Chains A and B, each alone.
Chain A
Amino acid sequence: MSTPAIEIQGLTKDFPVGFWRPKMRRALENLTFQVEEGEVFGFLGPNGAGKTTTIKLLMGLIFPTSGTARVRGRSIDDIEMHREVGYLPEQPYFYDYLTARELLDYYARFANYSTAERRERVGRFLERVGLAAAADVQLRKFSKGMLQRAGIAQAILHDPPVVILDEPMSGLDPVGRREVRDIMLDLKKQGRTVFFSTHILSDAEMLCDRVAVLARGRLQGVGAPREIVTMQSQSMDILFETREGRALPAALAGHATRIGGRSSITVAEDQLYATLEQLRGCEARILSVSPIHPTLEDYFLQLVGAPSGSRGIEEISR
């Protein structure tokens, strides 16, 4: 069995909150999952769920309270791990006094390329992210979308086998999103592992082999997007006609929706037979019974609306 691209084991992170007598707040709780080589893996969750915290832990920007993580078998404490990873921070900000070419050249120096190799590589990657025309413009004159593309270029400049992107579609217009999607698919074609966090569920459904869903610092599920949603209890839609003069039982009347001469009602799967019995009792004619396939968005919205809010971090007793 091959080594996973990313392996996270019991990762927990607490942050102190407050200046005087700070209390510890848990941002991430016992996170465990792994990303296989060559996968496009989506990391989903509402704001404050702990996605960026997880990514910062992986990149060694913050340190775990407990737990471990490895990238291609290397511990995240190992500086050599960084040669295997490309990283795009959320809302990236770079040295704005540099031009895009200078920025990439600066970062390429840490990969120990020769001058000629750096020059060739920087030109190629600027071309690839569509910044060739703006290569010699200072970054302070770049739009948000252009900065995002410069950020992607610096992340993939050294051909890393694992690419970690924090909200790569954030702030991009539809054309920009499409370009980023194409780059990600291109990376997948080259056999690279892409791990990215996103709010945009259609992108996740379209791109990802698997996703992990995080809410309030805890992992809610891992699997293919379709698996994730079918893990949820399904609902059934019943379409029926009532006979004239026969009213629906009060328990159903409040939930039924009238469409023309017909009515429909949505019930949980385990309530299906009881509901059908009630409809038969009032001589309703059942026209169809069909399952409602939940989408990733339904699942996501269910998490966001879950009790205890979506603030993500919660206080822990100390």
Chain B
Amino acid sequence: MNATVGSVAVNTFREAVRDRVLYNLVLFALLMMGAAILVGQISIGIEQLVIVNLGLSAISFFGLVMAIFIGVGLVYKEIEKRTLYSLLAKPIHRWQFLVGKYAGLLLTLAVNTAFMTLGLAAAFFYVGGRIARADIPILIAIYFILLEFALVTALALFFSCFSSPMLSTLFTLGIYIAGVFANDIRSIGEFTQNPMLLTITRVVYFLVPNFHNFNAIAAAGHGDAIPFSLVWQNTLYAALYVALLLIAATAVFSRRNLK
């Protein structure tokens, strides 16, 4: 069972690599090099803060673009190109296919993030940064970014099971933006004192994944400590949400007629 999921995951990773998805790393490297040189010239005393903020934001942005744009095609492309036909003719459950595709994209994002982290570290050292205990929040912020990718990929995969890439992109992006502003959405309802709006905003707040809690970029930039409780809470939250999305995706996809 695990070997089956693993085989699908490795093949998904191989597809991403051969389709030159990791070329975005070149762009990231150029951005970091440019920023490091520029920052060294224009900022005095806040070089490391600027580099960390810029680097983490870029890691998050590049990864999210990959998670959404590859994620929405994960299942759709296999159906459209009919590559799924010969695969599902093998002794493989549809849920194994879905989990394998999900794990493959997550592996791609993790490798991509690892390389970008190395790029960020290089730029950090270039502007005079040194490894210190106070830098641990940077690693935690990167871990939260990975959790965010896990959630967004699961959302994209879920929509990919029943809608076109364009609609899936809109849905995933919409939910992501709502999730980033989840706390604000709830506040709007409470602020207006309108019972109906309050109910709607509360439902939205509890339904959409709360991406706000995964953003530790500012704290990492300033070297502020991130409580350990937030680490395991975010981990548990992401794991549960991903599990629910994968179960929902399986429920939709298991009885789907392939055209």
Most chain B CB within 10 A, of A61, A62, A88, A89, is at A61
Stretch at the interface among A30-38, A42-50, A105-113, A246-254: A105-113
| CB–CB A83/B91 < 8 A | yes
What is the interface residue range for chain A against chain B? 20 to 34
- CB of A313 to closest CB in B, whole Å: 14
- What's the Cα separation between A175 and B181 when bound, in Å? 64
> What chain A residues lie within 8 Å of B19 (beta carbons)?
97
**Are B7's CB and A110's CB within 8 A?**
yes
Contacts of B86 in A (CB 8 A): 87-89, 92, 94, 107, 151, 154-155
CB-CB contacts below 8 Å: B93-136 with A: 93
Most buried by A among B7, B87, B90: B90
Q: Which residues of A contact B (CB under 8 A)?
A: 15, 56, 59-63, 79-80, 82-83, 85-89, 91-95, 97-98, 106-107, 109-112, 151, 154-155
| Chain B positions 226-259 with a Cβ under 8 Å from a chain A Cβ | 255, 257-258
Q: Which residues of A contact B88 (CB under 8 A)?
A: 59-61
Question: For residue A166, which residue of chain B has the nearest CB?
Answer: B85
A63, A79, A89, A155: the one contacting B255 at CB < 8 Å is: A63
**Which of the 9-residue segments B10-18, B154-162, B188-196, B201-209 touches chain A?**
B10-18
Contact of B91 (CB < 8 Å), options: A79, A88, A106, A155: A79
| Among candidates B83, B89, B257, residue contacting A82 with C-beta atoms closer than 8 Å | B89
Q: What is the minimal beta-carbon distance from B108 to any residue of chain A, in angstroms? A: 14
Within 8 A of A (CB), among B14-59: 14-15, 18-19
Q: Is the CB of B257 within 8 A of A106?
A: no
Q: A93 with B90: in contact, given A62-B258, A106-B7, A109-B3 (CB under 8 Å)? A: no
A111 vs B4: C-alpha distance when bound (angstroms): 9
The CA of A135 and the CA of B88, in the complex, are separated in Å by: 23
With A63-B257, A82-B91, A110-B91 known as contacts, the answer to whether A93 contacts B83 (CB < 8 A) is yes
| Known interface pairs A59-B88, A95-B83, A107-B86; 17 further A-B residue pairs with C-beta atoms within 8 A, sorted by A's residue number | A56-B258, A59-B89, A61-B85, A61-B258, A79-B92, A80-B91, A89-B82, A91-B82, A97-B14, A98-B14, A106-B7, A107-B87, A109-B4, A109-B7, A110-B91, A110-B92, A112-B3
CA distance A141 to B19 in the complex (A): 15
